[in-house]
Chains A and B, each alone.
Chain A
Amino acid sequence: MRLVVVGNGMAGARLVGEVRSRSRDVRITVFGAEARQPYNRVLLSNVLAGTSTPDQARLVDPAWYGEHDVTARLGVRVTAIDRDRKTVLASDGTREPYDVLVLATGSEPVVPSIPGAGRALPFRTLDDCDRIRKAATSARGVAVVGGGLLGIEAARGLAGRGVPVTLLHLGDHLMERQLDVEAGLVLRQTLGALGVRVRTGVTVSAVHERRVDLSTGESMDADLVVLACGVRPVVGLARDAGLEVDRGVVVDDELRTDDPAIFAIGECAQHAGMVYGLVSPAWEQAAVAADVVTGADRAARYRGSRMVTRLKARSVELAAMGETHLTDEQAEIVSFSHRRNGTYRKLVIRDGRLVGAILLGETPAVGTLTRLFDRGGPLPADRAGLLFPGVLADVAVAQSPVRMPDSAQVCHCNNVTKGQIRACWEAGARDLPAVTAATAATTGCGGCRDAVEGIVGWLSEQEGVSA
């Protein structure tokens, strides 16, 4: 079988790996519009912030293709699909026949049609990253347009480089798709403390050489403008080929388009009305498509993904998942806000299951809650315990010898109770070495030494009192 993959980004590269791990027989050709090896787009914010180097983001070794018998056509665009001849046409004039074609063309940044938009830099690829980093070294003021996930990460990263950054967001609060009003406020405050000036309800109406005009009529100094105004699926190839396209290329539960020989995955695909802009759905789709295409699991089906958004910005811990906008009428809401220290936590619960959450500010609960959300596990009756995972109830905090019952085990390694220590004290063992000799307490891990000494001391005091 000849498999052609269009797109060598996170979805396409993943699919190629998944297919090869299931079958050695499939002949694979992958086209990548970017000349680079596939890299992890999730890490671009770190690269922009300077906390990761570009080579740390690389997802596939150059030698991998040769070793795994995959033909990689990097820097070559696919310009058309000839569905009748089951062939794709490439920008270098070549044709590549396929039995199965997978579209993983991803998405492209939305560039607002405003005067001077060409002066602004989109933030989407590793090359964009390079350009922004270079420009930032000499910039005296940066405007980041768009207060979604990517815009916030870019703003935070640039602020961390010591550049004055203003984040302009048209919505009423940051990340309004994922966050409620309160979370938006707390996040704004957190970013402010990190040197990101946030303005909401405003966007850029024109980009000039050293300043931007705002929708409010003001003008603002900025010699670098970064665009993070969202993305739109790249569907031109599919549309030109006559495939069914809505916002994305429409696929069924097998990730198959209305042409049975053509699949689509990742940010260009639309499944059950959803176009996902995150990595994990794309990778889940790649696994299902690989199962179906290779026949490794013909029953594999994609049923949609649960969405967890995790901001990757230093000193800003934010996780948002599921349906965060439900109200008390629609669901059970548990929330806690502490604006001053940047904490906001909200759980959205329906039918005893976690269907949404916002966790802003560091919390040890984030992992547990994400798993509960992903797996739909039952929640404990004590909802507060979910927000504030506390000290374990039964963990021995240094108990006072007075309160300890005689049956309490003091030395676990040698199974010695307080009662046994008391008995041996009464039999004449008046100090730690004597108690140790009689009971073997403290001779294992040694962790109970203070406790045993405390009991012996307390017993001696008691004797003094009663004498």
Chain B
Amino acid sequence: MKPPESTIGPMPISLSPPGPVMPRDPVRTATHCPYCALQCGMQVVDGRGGGGGIGIEAREDIPANAGNLCQKGWTAAALLDSPERLTSPLLHGRRVGWDEALDFVARRVRDVQARYGPDAVAVFGGGGLTNEKAYLLGKFARVVLRTSQIDYNGRFCMSSAAAAANRAFGMDRGLPFPITDIGRAGAVLLAGVNVAETMPPFVRHLTRMRDGGGRLVVIDPRTTRTARVADLHLRPAPGTDLALALGLLHVAIADGHADLDYLAGRTTGFERVRTSVAAWWPERAERVTGVPAAAMREAVRILGDAERAMILTGRGAEQHAKGTDTVTSFVNLALVLGLPGREGSGYGCVTGQGNGQGGREHGQKADQLPGYRKIDDPAARAHVASVWGVDPADLPGPGRSAFEMLDALGTPGGPRALLVFGSNPAVSAPDAGRVARGLGALDLLVVSDIVTSETAALADVVLPTTQWAEESGTITNLEGRVLLRRRAADPPAGVRSDLSILSGLAGRLGHHKGFPADPGTVFGELRRASQGGIADYSGVTYERIAAETGVFWPCPAEAPGEIAHPGTPRPFLEHFATPDGLARLVPVDHRPPAEDVDTDFPIYLTTGRVLAHYQSGAQTRRIAALNEASPEVFVELHPDLAGRLGVEPGGRVRVRSRRGVVEAMAKVSPVVLPDTVFMPFHWDGVNRLTNAALDPVSGMPEFKVCAVAVERVA
């Protein structure tokens, strides 16, 4: 690994915008990309003061990207000056002043709660929000609204991996090791991870690994760009990743790769798991998954023979109604091979959203309080209540998970009002047609966004907010490294930050204290609230982040006179975060997709991403260069299927599920299996097809497989 060399010189911790200095060298501000969890380091170069434009440079000092960016990163500044920016609150589509908008929201919230009770107002957050926003949003819900109904789109993203990691390790930190460890590994297994498309600079760590003689195994039903650089590609049928993991686990034990000393010393539950996978001999797994038994043996051999090895899961394995068990099975495999808690080895999940990690730690999740505390834990409630200055008894209990909440909107007993921050569920939620009907049935929908997203278009009140480069705050990347986003440009006139919006609403709802709009002040409180929790940020400061290019949590505050805690790059080296310090192997079993194919809907639909777009596309679909790269939604179908349907490349096809219908351009390619079509979900409509069957543990919907009928549009 390259030592972090600073190309940017000493960085002052000025969180205010560059002042009106005299002309006119461009002003450079070191910050991070607005998009995915890799959180590539970049500098915003604002030359507007000298008559130039605003541009992006890649930072060398952040190990995740080390000077590289994908097209989304390079073009990120284009949205700052976008003509589509909202610059005034909208009340029923009419431009109004902030006071009028916030007064209206506060009045309606009071009315709804007076009539239907506190839980009638719900809050929906996002994994792109900074830690400060996620924290304050959770506090706003519990303290001001006193509603249990708060959850966020990370439920659609990280929840299965989080649940599995918590039950195995007692802690859910995406990668429990620095990303640079990947380049030193001898083998990496990626299960449902397509980094070549989703976070391209990540591939460089895999390339470094392979250049050093390491081998890459990829599990994906599609021959993705990531699969194409793999030494071995396993292609399970959609919805069968769990059976494949069980087959791999069986082989690992049968072929003598189980690390029995490690299992005895650092884990519990191996006997049960061994018994449970006796029923998953590889030839049986082959019949369910379509992956040859010989390839399973080869994959296990690659992992088992490596000095250091890693197993990483992504949404492909996780976004299923059995996602938690699927991840658990991959965790079991890692444990049987003796990987977690060994330097240079381990299990990790590749977090998706920009602050997908931090966003799931500080209390915008239905069952959680800051510091990754459980909301039903009396000690956790007491601690957080004391920081918030409220009675623990006044804190609500756990609420509905994201889809359950969206599904309850406007129903008897369900929320009548919804406040949305940093999310576009009308596009990103499963069975989106049903969700849109729920949104339409509300008495009040409030959306805070930078543009008129599809969800904002349905809202009674739209609150225009600042975006990434116009505000400061922390994000926690896929490594669990807390990073600093610095304000690099002035927001357009008329726009407020989410913190300011929460502050304004809190005041109008009778809480004049405790909801500061200044991120630094909020972070100070977050540190205290997280202190002693699993995700302890109490020793993290903006200054330290800047000086150390990030701090790994947990990082407890030092007592007076003590040396500062160095942060925790590899939390499991000594023991796991369970009460007894041992990792847990949990037996799980395979089951078929919630909705399998039949004669009416004979084709599997699986969804995923393309490089040029991010999430619901609210940002990236408004950037010209990205639209040029990926202009429209498409259906990827195998030449055999296209041939049978009489579909030509570029022709129109109609995809129908039990829930909705979408037309799109045909992309004919053997990348996808012949009985499967693939659609990227960045455009409105794709999720009207997907199935909202939920994982019983994590609440994750089954985005990755449902049954559809496909036909040519005449």
Instruction: Output the nearest chain A residue to B596 by Cβ-Cβ distance.
Output: A375
Q: A413-B70, A445-B207 are in contact. List 6 more A-B contacts (CB 8 A).
A: A43-B278, A59-B279, A367-B287, A377-B675, A440-B74, A445-B201
Query: B634-678, CB under 8 A of A: which get 1 and which 0?
Result: 000001100110000000000000000000000001110011000
Instruction: Give me 22 A-to-B residue pairs in the complex whose CB atoms sit less than 8 angstroms apart, sorted by A's number.
Output: A42-B283, A43-B254, A58-B278, A59-B275, A280-B287, A312-B283, A317-B294, A364-B295, A367-B290, A367-B291, A370-B286, A371-B237, A375-B675, A381-B640, A381-B643, A382-B640, A413-B70, A413-B611, A444-B70, A445-B196, A446-B204, A446-B207
Rounded to whole Å, the gap between the CB of A121 and the closest CB of chain B is 24
B225 at the interface (CB under 8 A from A): yes
> Would you list which residues of chain B between 275 and 307 have a CB under 8 Å from chain A?
275, 278-279, 281, 283-284, 286-287, 289-295
* Most chain B CB neighbours (cut-off 10 Å) among A367, A382, A414, A440: A367
| A165 interfacial by beta-carbon distance below 8 Å | no
Interface contact B275-A61, CB-CB below 8 Å: yes
Residue A362 lies at the interface, judged by CB distance under 8 Å to chain B = yes
> CB of A337 within 8 A of chain B?
no
Return chain A residues, CB-CB under 8 Å to B225.
412, 445
Q: Is there contact, CB below 8 Å, between B204 and A440? A: no
Q: A56-B253, A60-B275, A380-B643 are in contact. Are A363 and B207 (CB under 8 A)?
A: no
> For the complex, is B274 an interface residue (Cβ under 8 Å from A)?
yes
Note all chain B residues with C-beta closer than 8 A to A380: 639-640, 643, 674
Q: Distance (Å) between the CB of A310 and the closest chain B CB?
A: 4
**Which chain A residues lie closer than 8 Å to B203 at the CB level?**
444-447
Q: With CB as the reference atom, state the residue of chain A lying closest to B274.
A: A56
A58–B254 Cα gap in the complex (Å)?
A: 12
Tell me the nearest residue of chain B to A416, going by C-beta.
Answer: B71
Interface presence of A162 (CB below 8 A): no
Q: How distant is the Cα of A43 from the Cα of B280 in the complex, in angstroms?
A: 10
Is the CB–CB distance between A56 and B254 below 8 Å? yes
Cβ of B228 within 8 Å of any chain A Cβ, yes or no, is: yes
Q: How far apart are the CA atoms of A382 and B638 in the complex, in Å? A: 13
- Cβ of A215 within 8 Å of any chain B Cβ, yes or no, is no
Interface positions of B from 619 to 644, Cβ below 8 Å from A = 625, 628-629, 639-640, 643-644
B278 touches A59 (CB 8 A): yes
Chain B residues, CB < 8 A from A55: 274
List B residues at the A interface (Cβ < 8 Å): 58, 67-71, 74, 195-196, 200-204, 207, 223, 225, 228-229, 235, 237, 253-255, 271-272, 274-275, 278-279, 281, 283-284, 286-287, 289-295, 597, 611-612, 625, 628-629, 639-640, 643-644, 669-671, 674-675
Per the bound structure, the CA–CA distance linking A366 and B639 in Å amounts to 20
How far apart are the CA atoms of A76 and B659 in the complex, in Å? 54
A414–B253 Cα gap in the complex (Å)?
43
* Residue A71 lies at the interface, judged by CB distance under 8 Å to chain B: no
**Chain A residues with Cβ under 8 A from B201's Cβ?**
444-445
A280 and B284 in contact (CB under 8 A), knowing A57-B278, A447-B203, A447-B229? yes
Q: Which of A168-176, A390-398, A451-459 contacts B (4 or more CB under 8 A)?
A: A390-398
- CB contact under 8 A between A364 and B204, given known A40-B278, A414-B74: no
Contact with B along A309-321 (1 / 0, CB 8 A): 0101000010000
Q: Which residue of B lies closest to A409 (CB)?
A: B629
Q: Is the CB of B625 within 8 A of A415?
A: yes
Q: Is A443 touching B69 in the complex (CB atoms < 8 A)?
A: yes
**Chain B positions within 8 Å of A413 at CB level:** 70-71, 200, 611
Chain A residues near B674 (CB-CB < 8 A): 377, 380
Name, among A317, A366, A375, the residue most crowded by chain B CB atoms within 10 Å (CB to CB).
A366
CB–CB B223/A440 < 8 A = no
Q: Is A137 positioned at the interface, with any CB of B under 8 Å from its CB?
A: no
When chains A and B are docked, how far (Å) is the Cα of A208 from the Cα of B424? Answer: 80
A16 within 8 Å of B by Cβ? no
Nearest residue in B to A55 (C-beta to C-beta)? B274
**B residues near A58, Cβ cutoff 8 Å:** 274-275, 278
Q: Nearest chain A CB to B79's CB is how many angstroms away?
A: 17
Looking at the assembled complex, report how far the CB atom of B623 sits from the nearest CB atom of chain A, in whole angstroms.
Answer: 12
On chain B, the residues within 8 Å of A363 by CB distance are 292
- Which chain A residues border B670 with CB–CB below 8 Å? 392-394
Chain A's interface: helix, strand, loop or mixed, by majority? loop
Q: Are B58 and A443 touching (Cβ within 8 A)? A: yes
Report Cα–Cα, A373/B419, bound state, in Å: 51
What residues on A are CB-neighbors of B640 within 8 Å? 378, 380-382
User: Which chain B residues border A393 with CB–CB below 8 Å?
Assistant: 639, 670
Indicate if A51 sits at the interface (CB-CB under 8 A): yes
Q: Is A366 a contact partner of B196 (Cβ separation < 8 A)? A: no
Q: Determine whether the beta carbon of B71 is less than 8 Å from that of A414.
A: yes
With a CB–CB cut-off of 8 A, which chain A residues contact B68? 443-444, 446
Q: Which of B253, B286, B671 contacts A310 (CB 8 A)?
A: B286
- Chain A residue with the shortest CB-CB distance to B206: A445
* B612–A415 touching, CB < 8 Å: yes
Interface flag for A228 (CB, 8 Å): no
In the bound complex, CA of A279 to CA of B278 (Å): 13
Cβ of B71 and Cβ of A415 under 8 Å apart? yes
- In Å, the complex CA distance between A51 and B272 comes to 20
CB proximity to B under 8 Å, residues A243-278: none
A79 within 8 A of B: no
Residues on A with C-beta less than 8 A from B275 are 58-61
* Bound Cα distance A310, B284 (Å): 9
- CB of A213 closer than 8 Å to a CB of B: no
Q: CB distance A40 to B281 under 8 Å?
A: yes
Give complex CA distance A366, B284 in Å. 12
Please state if B254 and A51 are interface contacts (CB–CB under 8 Å). yes
Q: How far apart sit A363 and B293, CA to CA, in the bound complex (Å)?
A: 10
Residues of A within 8 A of B278 (CB): 39-40, 43, 56-59
- Are A394 and B200 closer than 8 Å at their CB atoms? no
A46 in the interface, Cβ–Cβ < 8 Å? yes
Which residue of chain B lies nearest to A370 when distances are taken between CB atoms in the complex? B287
Contact of A394 among B196, B237, B253, B669 (CB under 8 A): B669
Could you tell me the distance in whole angstroms from the C-beta of B350 to the nearest C-beta in chain A?
Answer: 14
Assess the A440–B643 pair: CB atoms within 8 A.
no
Complex formed: what's the CA distance from A413 to B204 in Å? Answer: 12
Instruction: Kindly list chain B residues whose C-beta atoms are within 8 Å of the C-beta of A447.
Output: 196, 203, 207, 229
In the bound complex, CA of A395 to CA of B71 (Å): 21
Q: Which residue of A lies closest to B285 (CB)?
A: A367
Cα separation A381 to B291 with both chains bound (whole Å): 23
B229 contacts A61, CB within 8 Å? no
User: In the assembly, what is the distance between CA of A266 and CA of B629, in Å?
Assistant: 57
- In the complex, which residues of chain A have a beta carbon less than 8 angstroms from the beta carbon of B628? 415
> Is there contact, CB below 8 Å, between B289 and A367?
yes
Rounded to whole Å, the gap between the CB of A384 and the closest CB of chain B is: 13
The answer to whether A414 and B290 have CB atoms under 8 Å apart is: no
CA gap between A467 and B670 in the complex, in Å: 43
In the bound assembly, the distance between CA atoms of A52 and B195 in angstroms comes to: 37
Q: Contact at B292–A310, with CB atoms within 8 Å?
A: no
CA distance A93 to B237 in the complex (A): 51
CB-contact partner of B71 in A61, A375, A444, under 8 A = A444
- Chain A nearest CB from B304 CB (Å) reads 14
Distance in angstroms from A47 CB to nearest chain B CB is 10
What separation, in Å, do the CA atoms of A366 and B285 have in the docked complex? 12
Q: Is A355 an interface residue (CB 8 A)?
A: no
Contact status B255-A43, CB under 8 Å: no
Asked if A308 is at the interface (CB within 8 A of a chain B CB), the reply is yes
User: In the docked arrangement, what's the CA distance between A380 and B641, Å?
Assistant: 8
Checking B235, B292, B639, B644 against A378 with a beta-carbon cut-off of 8 angstroms, the contacting residue is: B644
A374 interface residue per 8 A CB criterion: yes
B292 contacts A366, C-beta separation under 8 Å: yes
User: How close is A371's CB to chain B, nearest CB, in angstroms?
Assistant: 5
Distance in angstroms between the alpha carbons of A51 and B644 in the assembled complex:
45
Q: Given B272, B290, B293, which contacts A371 in the complex, CB threshold below 8 Å?
A: B290
Shortest distance from the beta carbon of A326 to any chain B beta carbon, whole Å = 22
Least Cβ–Cβ distance between B196 and chain A, in angstroms: 6
Q: Which of A11-38 contact B (CB under 8 A)?
A: none
Q: Are A368 and B671 in contact, CB atoms less than 8 angstroms apart?
A: no
Residues of A contacting B237 in the complex (Cβ-Cβ under 8 angstroms): 371
The smallest C-beta distance from A418 to any residue of chain B, in angstroms, reads: 15
Closest CB in chain A relative to B527 CB, distance in Å: 35
